Structures are given as C-alpha cells and as structure tokens.
Structure 1
Amino acid sequence: MSELFNESLESSIDFSQSPQLNSKPDWWNDDGHGWQDTFTARQRIFADGQAEIVISKEKFFISREALALPPAKRGKSEKRERNDEDASRRAKKNVRLCCKEIRADRMITLTYRENMTDRDLALKHLKAFARRVGKVAGFHYVAVIEQQERGAIHFHIAVHGRQSYVLVRSIWQSIVGVGEGGQQMGQANVRDPHKFGFGKNGANKLASYIAKYVGKKMDSRELNQKRYFRSRGIVLPEVNTWRISSTDMLGAVQTAFAIAAEFGLEGVQTWCNNALGVVWIATAPRSGPLVNACPF
C-alpha cells in the first residue's frame, strides 16, 4: 500500500480512547498494580458487502487517577490541541466510513478561478450545487473542504457511479458566475477510478484518500466549523463489538483474519502496528466465489 494510504488510515482509526473502570469486572486478572491488557474487536459490514475489522489493545487501570475530571467549558479546555487531534481523527474515520457506505468510486473537485477565501460563501455554493445536482438524479455525496496555503478554498466530493461532466461543470459554473471579462469563475473536474490507479478493489483507498483532507488546517479552524459535509440519508452500519481471548498481537491478527474470512478476503487490505497494538483489515465487495485463505 502507498505511503499516503498508510498515513491517512493511521490518522483516521480512532483507537486512542481506552475505557477506564472504577470497579473490577469478573474477568479481571491484573498484575497486582491495577493494569491489564486486553484486545477488543470491532466489525462493520457495509451494504455492498465490504467489511472493516479493527482489533485494538486497550489498557484498563483502576485508581483515583482514572476518575473522570469535571468537563471544561466548550473551547476553554487546556488540552485544546489534543482535543483537536482527537476530533480530526474521528472526522477522518467518519468520512472514510461514509464513503464506503455510498460505495464512492469517483471524486468531483470544485475549484474557483479567483482566490476564494470566504468560507461561508463557498459553503453556500456547495449547498446550491448539491441541491441542483440532486434534482437531476439521486446524489449521495461526502464532501470535504480544503484550504491551500494561500487561502484558496476548493471542495473534494466523493460520489458513486458515472457522472455527467458537462452537467457537473455547467451547474457549478452557473452558481459561481462569470467575471467582469466574461470568463468563467469556477471549474469542475471528475476523476474516474482508473485515474486513481486503485483498480476495482480500490474503495478502501479512495475513502482514505479523500478522508486525508479533513485533517488539513485544523489549527486555523473556528470551534464550531464542520470538518466534512454529507448528503442526508447516509446511515452507517452498526458496530459489532466483543472482547477476544487473544493475549498477543499474533493472536489478534489471526483472529482479525478469521472474522474477515466470514465474508471473504477478496481485495483484502491490512494495516498493523505492533507498538500501538492495533490491526485493521478491510475487504472489497465480493464479486465471485468466497476467498477466505489467510495470506500467511
């Protein structure tokens, strides 16, 4: 897998929140100092048959320090930077999951001819674009806003299925308008799957590719600014969660593949970090006979 895919995937898996307990459960078997390492599996099955499995090591600690502190007022926390990182990670994960749920396989990029820096105006343009395209055909989308170093704003929109380039461009240009010299002030580009080089099993990579834009310029955003936008009616699959009996990373990896094999390992993509105690597996929609052989 590419460096870009690994980087965006690692920053979008939300494995930073480990539960803290104030009483020992029946299965507790610590080292005498309150610590115990255990692995938890989380599984999502998408409508088209894609699956994601994350198994992560979670540390439990029982002590006075584990008791929750009174929450700070919104925006007043001394840990704002870390909170931003956590929020960015959650947003990236949600974008990736939404892209998979709508079976996103293409990306529309909407740009401006001028140096557009007015976020509120740009978002009005995006809303108008989605509404007008939706009148022509069903239009499920997941959009992220990117602001370049010079301040220029543009949008990346993940969609499913073939798009009419002429329609997309004409609608966007009619919304943005023309300049004093009669030149078009907006441009639209549609990238098909083969232009990404991801192939038929590239849904995971495309979802991670667009999710990476969510984390850009998090330090310059206002407190209540949204990180991504999506059409109504996108319902993410429920998460199946259970604690597994494995006590080491090898067992966790083997368990993850056993879970994924239930739906087949076609187009399987993996990511594992032994230091963090995390293994991630994603499969592509199955198009043929069940493939369930572990690759090692």
Structure 2
Amino acid sequence: MNELDNENVVSSNDLGPVGADPDYTRPDWWNDDGTKGTFQDNYTARKRVFPDGQCVVTVTKDKNYLGPAQTKLRAKRGESEERERNEEDAGQRAKQKVRDCCKAISADRMVTLTYRDNMTDRDKALKDWKAFCRRLGKVKKFHYVAVIEEQERGALHFHVAVRGKQSYVLLRSIWQRVVGLGSSGEQMGQVNVRDPHRLGFGVKGGHKLAAYIAKYCGKDVDCRELNGKRYFRSRGIVLPEVQYWRLPNCTCMLCAVHEAFRLIEGHCMEGLDTWCNNALGIVYLASAPGLVDPDYCPF
C-alpha cells in the first residue's frame, strides 16, 4: 500500500456514533483471519473535550477475543497469582483518572503540604488531611486532586492540584493548626504553593501538572495498603463523556496517527502534547485550553 492508498483509507473512515453501522465489513487486506479462540486486532478512537477547551484524543489497538468467554475461578482479594499485574493495571487506571480530574478542574497550581518531622504514619497523615479539607471547606469552596507521596526516607507529604490563585496565609494557618506545635513551640507543618511559572509549565502547564500529580498513583506506593486509596479528589468534579468510534479501515499506526489528528482538529495546537508507542499500539494527543481562532492560518 502506498501513501496515496493510506490517505484514501483514512478519509474513508466513518467517525459517526458507534452503533450507526454495527455490521460493517472489513477490507479484503485486513490482517484478521477470523479464527475462533484467538485475539483479533481492532483500532478504536476515543475523544474527551473538557469545559475549558482541552481535548484528549487516543487511538488504541485493541485486542478482542473471538469466541466464547473464558471463565476461571475468582481468587480472593490480594491472593491472586497475577496480583503484581493487577496492581500495575490499577495504577495505570488511577493515573488516567487523576489526569482527567486535573484537566476537568483546569488545575494550574500545586499546593504541597509537608511535615517538619519525619512523618511515616499514613493513618495519622490521612487524618490530618481530612481535618485540613474539613476546615478549609468551611471558609471557601474549591476543587482539588491530591496524592500522597512517600520519600526515600519514609516521610509523607501531600501534593494537591488546584486552580487559580491561592491564599498562602489561609492554607498555611489551617495546616499548621491541624498539625500542631512541637515540643519547643515550633510549627510542625509547612505549605508551599507553586504557580505555573515556578513550575516551568509554560504553554503545556496543564499537561505537566496532571502528569506530575498522576505519577504518584503507580503500583510502587509502599505506604499504601491493599485497599488504600491512590488519590483523593473533591466532590462535584464531573468528567465529560468519552466519544468513541471503531475504525474498521485503520490497519496500521500511520493510519492511527492520521485519525488522531483529524479528531483533534478545531482545538488549540499550541502546546499540543503528543505520545505514540508503536509496540503498544497507542496514539495520544492532548491540546491546551482554548479553541482555535477560525481566522487563524498557520501557513
């Protein structure tokens, strides 16, 4: 297949709602053999648009099992032979959820809550965190996405993604009141508010902040128990629905990249975040906030 054939294939893909034509036919050169009891390749496009204009598009190469479902006995929680793999999958899902929540609230600043001493008691830290949110909620209403980080020496502290300018005096006074004083009367809690400029975010600020917060949701969170939460978020965060399409005419990663850029047309290309992995069969595009000016021409 030459480049012209690829262009014709991409333009022929129907990006209408799923279910409009469930009995679509694959092209003759599709690489699936239809053998039962095997996994068949299929490309799926997903698109989510956030209130501030941010758009996230993914095109993934999904593997569908052709044949009856394979059933097996379900192990007790924590006793599965594939526990490590399950933990990794759960960590990836949590990372995606955190990134989506950060984009949903248009987070552009990070608040860090720390302890003066080497706090290693997770239960005590979570109790302080709940008290902090409860007291702050009586003063102001705000949306947040928070994670707990454990340093190499075991010290715990919180990273909180928020939107807009924060009152440093208010946050510090509440956190220090929750944590209390030391034996010598010194303050045992500290607060650091980092704005986009100090973080070096620039145009890709939202992407970097969301990725920075999400990285602490991986499976290697030693301070978290089996049923422990990987992240915390305020109530009322509404995630936009995901639109998705099957791409029967998409058979290679080049087609997948073309489809991804077609779907993100009309959104801000400045500060576009891109990621592509041929081995995993994933194309990821994330735009910055705002829509493209219809009179703007990049050429």
SS of 2:202's equivalent in the other structure is coil
Q: Are residues 1:252 and 2:256 paired?
A: yes
Instruction: Work out which of the residue numbers 76, 79, 97 in structure 2 matches 1:76.
Output: 79
Q: Deviations over 1:46-81 (max 9, x none)?
A: 1111110110001223256x5132322222211111
1:20 alignment counterpart: none
Instruction: Work out which of the residue numbers 140, 155, 158 in structure 1 matches 2:158.
Output: 155
- For 2:137, give the aligned amino acid: G
- Asked if the contact 1:38–1:57 (Cα under 8 Å) also holds between the matched residues in 2, the reply is yes
CA 1:99–1:261: 2 relative to 1, 3 Å:
same
Correspondence list, 1:140-289, <5 A: 140-215=143-218, 217-218=220-221, 221-244=224-247, 245-286=249-290, 289=293
CA 1:27–1:77: 2 relative to 1, 3 Å:
farther
- Alpha-carbon distance between aligned partners in 1 of 2:166 and 2:152, rounded to the nearest angstrom: 30
Q: CA deviation at 1:293?
A: 8.0
Q: CA deviation at 1:167?
A: 1.1
- Asked if the contact 1:98–1:236 (Cα under 8 Å) also holds between the matched residues in 2, the reply is yes
Correspondence list, 1:30-109, <5 A: 30-33=32-35, 34-63=38-67, 67-109=70-112
- Alpha-carbon distance between aligned partners in 2 of 1:119 and 1:140, rounded to the nearest angstrom: 23
- For 1:83, give the aligned amino acid: N
- Alpha-carbon distance between aligned partners in 1 of 2:85 and 2:219, rounded to the nearest angstrom: 15
CA 1:293–1:237: 2 relative to 1, 3 Å:
farther
- Asked if the contact 1:115–1:152 (Cα under 8 Å) also holds between the matched residues in 2, the reply is yes
- Alpha-carbon distance between aligned partners in 1 of 2:83 and 2:156, rounded to the nearest angstrom: 25
Q: CA deviation at 1:264?
A: 4.0
SS of 1:57's equivalent in the other structure is strand
Q: Which stretch shifts more, 196-205 or 100-109?
A: 196-205
> Identical aligned pairs, as a percentage?
60
Q: Deviations over 1:28-49 (max 9, x none)?
A: 7632534432210111111111
Output the TM-score relative to the length of structure 2: 0.84
- For 1:265, give the aligned amino acid: M
CA 1:70–1:213: 2 relative to 1, 3 Å:
same
Q: Deviations over 1:257-295 (max 9, x none)?
A: 010013342421110011111000000111651499899
CA 1:152–1:220: 2 relative to 1, 3 Å:
closer
- Asked if the contact 1:268–1:282 (Cα under 8 Å) also holds between the matched residues in 2, the reply is yes
Return the index of the structure with the highest Cα Rg: 2
CA 1:190–1:264: 2 relative to 1, 3 Å:
closer
- Asked if the contact 1:84–1:218 (Cα under 8 Å) also holds between the matched residues in 2, the reply is no
Q: Which stretch shifts more, 72-81 or 157-166?
A: 72-81
Output the TM-score relative to the length of structure 1: 0.85
Correspondence list, 1:113-124, <5 A: 113-124=116-127
